[in-house]
């Protein structure tokens, strides 16, 4: 079973989903203010998958990306 972790960044839902390969899918609904926070964290650590509108983060960067995204998450 694949694991999904949900964060809220800038008021929007961001889903982090484990893939069978060990890579991480990072998805959020189109929102420029969220993209401005998520894209710099994922860029150069994976690739944009335009078919699913999500980032695929390579497994060797997974822990760092999750940590950085959690730091950006809304803490209510």
Tens-place pLDDT, residues 2-19: 599 999 999 999 999 999
Q: Any idea what DSSP says for residue 60?
A: G
Tens-place pLDDT, residues 19-65: 999 999 999 999 999 999 999 999 999 999 999 999 999 999 999 99
The strand ranges marked E within 1-76 are 4-9, 12-18, 24-28, 46-49, 54-57
Domain limits, the chain: 4-72
Given strand 46-49, what is the order of strands in its sheet? 4-9, 12-18, 24-28, 54-57, 46-49
Cα–Cα distance measured from residue 10 to residue 46, given in angstroms and rounded to the nearest whole number? 22
Cα–Cα distance measured from residue 8 to residue 29, given in angstroms and rounded to the nearest whole number? 12
- pTM here is 0.93
């Amino acid at each position: 079973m694949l694991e999904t972790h949900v964060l809220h960044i800038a008021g929007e839902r961001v889903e982090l989903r484990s893939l069978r390969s060990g890579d991480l899918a990072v998805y959020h609904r189109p929102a420029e203010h969220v993209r401005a926070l998520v894209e710099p964290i994922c860029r150069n650590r994976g690739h944009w998958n335009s078919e699913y509108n999500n980032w695929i983060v390579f497994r060797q960067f997974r822990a760092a990306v999750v940590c950085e995204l959690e730091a950006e998450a809304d803490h209510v």
